[in-house]
């Protein structure tokens, strides 16, 4: 079945599906998908939910992760990934694109685009990657207002509250997580923790589902999904991994093409035409076109 067909499609909300996955799964693996094709490949591999990273989307547009993307651009990517995969998406909405009314609009727009969960953080614009230095945080009361506004606006999407306060102290990160939970956040995301001890300390001090970020080249050591489960975390994201691997492969392709005048040496690393068509459902669309879109001429009048 392709997304153009609605008959037989299960009418459950994305947020409801994600909530069930969190409740039913030990720890949910949520890889990042920087575009719809990446999302389809992740779905083929068996993943049940995807992460839409602001850092990955920004980089794919040739922009830094400084909150310079617009809500409309994030909604466009979200819509495409949701349409292609049908999987619940955890969508990174940075600081919510403004004050509380803007946060509410962000939630409504991203829900409409297909988001199952919307992540908002407690940085000041221009925000920075969570694993860089010199992050500036809003007062806790301001982030509490963002969370409360998001909760008021949502119809089904889970609200993920991220705190970057571990850059100040672990105690501050724990205190903020507790405040954001009281304000209505469904999932808490303590960013840039630096050790197993820190992950365990947050899990011991904060009730409810927690999200861990297993990004590469950052402050967090490499842990496996099973390790995060033992630490007490319900979701783990790999936000930029797909983009980094794809970008490295494309860079190698262009280097060989410039050097050799041919891409033939890259053939073993490419999806074949058949593999690509299978991933995007080419034959399914053709079959649907043949089944539905035949032209039927009206009978000629005999008068």
Q: Identify whether 116 is part of a domain.
A: yes
Q: pLDDT confidence of 4, banded at 50, 70, 90?
A: low
Same domain, 163 and 275: no
Q: CA 36, CA 85: separation in Å to the nearest integer? A: 7
The whole-model pTM stands at 0.92
Q: CA 14, CA 119: separation in Å to the nearest integer? A: 15
Cβ-Cβ contacts under 8 Å for 195 (sequence gap 6 or more): 221
Going by their DSSP bridges, the two strands 50-52 and 89-92 should be labelled as parallel
Q: Identify whether 150 is part of a domain.
A: yes
Is 213 in a helix, a strand, or coil? strand
- Please state whether the peptide bond connecting residue 18 to the residue before it is cis, i.e. omega within 30 degrees of 0: no
Q: pLDDT confidence of 283, banded at 50, 70, 90?
A: confident
Same domain, 235 and 271: no
Q: pLDDT confidence of 78, banded at 50, 70, 90?
A: very high
Q: Work out the angle at residue 135's Cα, subtended by the Cα atoms of residues 133 and 141, and round it to the nearest 5 degrees.
A: 155
Q: If you average pLDDT over every residue of the chain, what do you get?
A: 92
15-27 confidence digits (pLDDT tens): 999 999 999 879 9
Q: Could you tell me the residue range of the domain that residue 283 belongs to?
A: 248-291
Same domain, 218 and 275: no
Q: Identify whether 8 is part of a domain.
A: no
The predicted structure's pLDDT at residue 47? 98
Q: CA 222, CA 212: separation in Å to the nearest integer? A: 11
Same domain, 214 and 255: no
The predicted structure's pLDDT at residue 135? 80
Least confident of 4-8, 39-43, 189-193: 4-8
Q: pLDDT confidence of 263, banded at 50, 70, 90?
A: very high
Same domain, 226 and 105: yes
Q: Identify whether 302 is part of a domain.
A: no
Q: Identify whether 1 is part of a domain.
A: no
User: Which DSSP helix (H) or strand (E) runs through 146?
Assistant: helix 140-153
Domain boundary among 203, 219, 239: 239
Same domain, 211 and 159: yes
Q: Identify whether 298 is part of a domain.
A: no
pLDDT at 129 > cutoff 80: no
Same domain, 43 and 125: yes
Same domain, 212 and 253: no
Contact (Cβ atoms closer than 8 angstroms) between residue 53 and residue 240 = yes
The predicted structure's pLDDT at residue 133? 72
pLDDT at 297 > cutoff 80: no
143-184 confidence digits (pLDDT tens): 999 999 999 999 999 999 999 999 899 999 999 999 999 999
Domain containing residue 171: CATH number: 3.20.20.60
- Into how many domains does the chain fold? 2
Is 184 in a helix, a strand, or coil? coil
Residue 235 has a CB neighbour count (10 Å cut-off) of 26
């Amino acid at each position: 079945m392709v997304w153009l067909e609605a008959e037989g499609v299960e009418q459950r909300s994305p947020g409801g599906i994600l909530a069930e996955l969190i409740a039913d799964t030990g720890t949910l693996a949520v890889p990042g998908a920087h575009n719809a094709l990446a999302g389809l490949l992740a779905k083929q591999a068996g993943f049940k939910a995807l992460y839409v990273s602001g850092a990955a989307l920004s980089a794919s547009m040739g922009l830094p992760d400084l909150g310079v993307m617009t809500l409309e651009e994030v909604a466009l990517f979200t819509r495409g990934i949701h349409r292609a995969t049908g999987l619940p998406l955890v969508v990174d909405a940075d600081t919510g694109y403004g004050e509380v009314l803007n946060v509410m609009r962000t939630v409504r727009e991203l829900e409409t685009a297909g988001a199952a969960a919307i992540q908002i953080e407690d940085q000041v614009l221009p925000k920075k990657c969570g694993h860089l230095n010199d992050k500036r945080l809003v007062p806790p009361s301001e982030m509490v207002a963002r969370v409360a506004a998001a909760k008021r606006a949502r119809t089904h999407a889970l609200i993920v509250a991220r705190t970057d306060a571990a850059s100040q102290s672990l105690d501050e990160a724990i205190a903020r997580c507790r405040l954001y939970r009281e304000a209505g956040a469904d999932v808490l995301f303590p960013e840039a923790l630096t050790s197993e001890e820190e992950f365990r300390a947050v899990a011991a001090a904060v009730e409810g589902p927690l999200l861990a970020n297993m990004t590469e080249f950052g402050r967090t050591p490499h842990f496996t999904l099973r390790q995060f489960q033992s630490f007490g975390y319900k979701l783990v994201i790999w936000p930029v991994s797909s983009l980094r691997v794809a970008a490295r492969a494309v860079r190698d392709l262009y280097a060989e093409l410039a050097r050799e005048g041919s891409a033939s040496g890259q053939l073993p690393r490419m999806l074949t035409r058949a593999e690509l068509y299978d991933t995007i459902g080419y034959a399914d669309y053709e079959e649907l076109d043949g089944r539905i879109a035949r032209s039927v001429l009206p009978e000629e009048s005999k008068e």
